[in-house]
Chain A
Amino acid sequence: MSDPIIRLRGIRRDYDMGGEVVHALRGVDLDIDRNSYIAIMGPSGSGKSTLMNLIGCLDTPTGGEYWLNGQEVSRMSDDDLARVRNREIGFVFQTFNLLPRATALQNVELPLVYAGMPAARRRQLAAESLTRVGLADRMDHRPNELSGGQRQRVAIARALVNRPSILLADEPTGNLDSATSGEIMKVFDRLHAEGQTVVMVTHEADIAEHAARVVVLHDGSVASDRTRARAAVA
């Protein structure tokens, strides 16, 4: 078996809240393998958002080591982290986080802009990515002309366009009704089936059901970590 794509060792993250130190993560060890489908759960305040920010390289730990796809990212500078986010991570947010004034295509192009790709190639890849999530006919629509489910699919297309090592989804169905949620989860399931590593943070048990492995955090530590048989996912 190859090295895990994510390797966390003794990860701690402390926040200084006006003189009082809050330990959001108290030594988390976690390995996530390539092509896995994992849900991180936990009640609010359990540290799951902090963990997701660390995995997404938006933040650096106070202590411990984080290896992402063979690189030690826990001590990187801001700009190096930006590069890692650009190449290794595809974010899907609860609130979609699309640029409101840009079209679906322009939104999807954005990571490629920061990767320094020429415009023509960028448009081509963005169009392919939108086609992959079934939005080939909505490329020139702005976010306010799209339904919630379509917006989240644009966000997924944007997350995938740079062929990231991991797709990192933070409450991806939190702002969607249950029918649309099911639709979006099917997209994630399919992407996983196609070989994409998916890391999902959620507090909804039925959403976590889609994942093959569920890690539950409690008070900044891993409280449980269980892997289901693949057969259960279908």
Chain B
Amino acid sequence: MPLWEAVRLALHMMRVQKLKSFFSLIGVVIGVMFLIAVVSIVQGMNVYMEDEFANRLVGLNTFQVRQRPSIQTGDVSSATRREWARRPRITESDAGYLEARVRTPVVFSRVCESRMTVGRGTLVARDIDVLGADPTIFGIKNYGISAGRPFSPQEARVGSAVAVLGHLVAERLFEGLDPVGRTVLLGGLPYRVVGVIEEQGTLFGISLDKFVVVPFEAPVRRELCRAGTLHELQVQASGPTSMLTAMGEVEALMRARRQLRPGDPSNFHLQTAEGALEGWRGISRILFAALPGLVGISLVVGGIVIMNIMLMAVAERTREIGIRKALGARRRDILAQFVVESATISFLGALIGIGLGLAMAWGVREATPFPAAVAPWSIGLAVTLGIAVGMIAGIYPAGRAARLDPITALRAE
């Protein structure tokens, strides 16, 4: 019997027994749905983490010299935390030392930051990230200015009380007024607003616009970090290669400055986008490692269900098998009929699973910031697995059907 003939027969049987066929599909549907959804979501998260998270939080071709990492996506032991706390802070003189000696062309910006309340008259904005930084920070962070201007090198040098507001801070304190030229209260002192930074959007649903940038030497500095120290030194190179060169230089210079011996671990941290992604990569690896198990279990269960359904089908259709044999069906014809039927059921299950998996991925994309991306290979794999599970599950019942004695089968009721 030709293949398409058997497929048509299988589809016909399924139309006739819709409910039973539907139940027999569930295992395969769930397995395939997991496969498609998890792969799509994890791949979407990958894209998101690399494009958005790492580059926006750390910056393109940028690294930070810090006492300890500020971004951790994995688990950190308490011993490690204690070790980080014992490390010397990065000082202003460290920054000056590095700025004077790094030979790779890079741009530096010192950064001190703290959560503070920013006020204007009776309006207040709490939990605002106040950044004391050099004017180069606007370039390093790629902050566009939507109104006014960034503070000038002159204002930076003298430590003027000027501020550039994040989008959300400007909205909250000025509510439609033009903030440029007006003043905000920061640490009890009035700051003149010189500019507003373009909207940065959200990351994991958290707004990236709740911040204010002031000159590093501005009066509020003493509330941002301890005298003579800084939280991080931002270093931006012109490309990935020069970034690595600069990192090597900074590492060597800092180690020499802190008189570390060759075997000693570095007591400072160079934070990069790559480093920040490591924790996420670990999670994604675990998800991908667990995926075959999840999918496998569902498919095995699905296969067993299909096998049972097929055994029932063979029992119910014993007479049909007898008729077919009497009319000239060979063993392999009967075998093929039931294997194809089983594979067709399973294949349809895979198709439904793909549909549901895509729907789940789409739902995640709509409901969360993650751009769930469907991987074509996962669809190919799902279809292949669906057919394979059906064929394997169908072999035993089909074999029983093929071996039936035609006389006995014809007598069945």
Is A87's CB within 8 Å of the partner chain B? yes
Q: Find chain A residues with CB under 8 A from B325 CB.
A: 58, 82, 85
A114→B323 contact, CB < 8 A: no
Q: CA–CA, A78 to B410, complex, Å? A: 16
Q: Find chain A residues with CB under 8 A from B406 CB.
A: 58
Knowing A58-B406, A97-B410, A101-B16 touch, does A110 contact B330 (C-beta < 8 A)?
no
Q: How many residues of B contact A (CB 8 A)?
A: 22
Is A213's CB within 8 Å of the partner chain B? no
A82→B330 contact, CB < 8 A: yes
Partner of A56, one of B16, B323, B326, B332: B326
B326→A114 contact, CB < 8 A: no
Is A111's CB within 8 Å of the partner chain B? yes
The digit string for B357-372, where 1 denotes a CB below 8 A from any CB of A, is 0000000000000000
Knowing A59-B407, A114-B1, A114-B333 touch, does A97 contact B323 (C-beta < 8 A)?
yes
Q: CA–CA, A98 to B320, complex, Å? A: 8
The digit string for B296-331, where 1 denotes a CB below 8 A from any CB of A, is 000000000000000000000001101111111111
Knowing A111-B327, A114-B329 touch, does A99 contact B1 (C-beta < 8 A)?
no
B327→A85 contact, CB < 8 A: yes
In the complex, chain A residues 42-95 whose Cβ is within 8 Å of any chain B Cβ:
53, 56, 58-59, 78-79, 82-83, 85-87, 91, 93
Is A115's CB within 8 Å of the partner chain B? yes
Q: Find chain A residues with CB under 8 A from B323 CB.
A: 97-99, 110
Nearest Cβ in chain B — how far from A165, in angstroms? 13
Is B12's CB within 8 Å of the partner chain A? yes
B322, B328, B331, B407: residue with the most chain A Cβ atoms closer than 10 Å: B328
Partner of B328, one of A93, A99, A114, A119: A114
B16, B319, B329: residue with the most chain A Cβ atoms closer than 10 Å: B329
B407→A82 contact, CB < 8 A: no
Knowing A82-B328, A114-B333 touch, does A101 contact B410 (C-beta < 8 A)?
no
Is B5's CB within 8 Å of the partner chain A? yes
Is A113's CB within 8 Å of the partner chain B? yes
A82, A83, A110, A114: residue with the most chain B Cβ atoms closer than 10 Å: A82
**CB-based nearest A residue for B327:** A111
In the complex, chain A residues 103-140 whose Cβ is within 8 Å of any chain B Cβ:
110-111, 113-115, 119
Q: Interface size class for chain A?
A: 20 to 34
Q: Find chain B residues with CB under 8 A from A97 CB.
A: 319, 322-323, 326, 410
The digit string for B394-413, where 1 denotes a CB below 8 A from any CB of A, is 00000000000011001000
In the complex, chain A residues 202-222 whose Cβ is within 8 Å of any chain B Cβ:
none
Nearest Cβ in chain B — how far from A86, in angstroms? 2
Nearest Cβ in chain B — how far from A156, in angstroms? 13
Knowing A85-B327, A99-B323, A158-B327 touch, does A113 contact B12 (C-beta < 8 A)?
no
**CB-based nearest B residue for A99:** B320
B1→A113 contact, CB < 8 A: yes
Nearest Cβ in chain B — how far from A51, in angstroms? 13
Given A59-B407, A113-B1, 18 new contacts (CB under 8 A): A79-B331, A79-B332, A85-B326, A86-B327, A86-B328, A91-B326, A91-B327, A93-B410, A97-B322, A97-B326, A98-B323, A99-B320, A99-B323, A110-B323, A113-B5, A114-B330, A114-B333, A158-B327
13 contacting pairs across A/B (C-beta < 8 A): A56-B326, A58-B407, A58-B410, A59-B407, A82-B325, A82-B330, A85-B327, A91-B327, A97-B319, A110-B324, A114-B1, A114-B327, A162-B328
Which A residues contact B (CB, under 8 angstroms)? 53, 56, 58-59, 78-79, 82-83, 85-87, 91, 93, 97-99, 101, 110-111, 113-115, 119, 158, 162
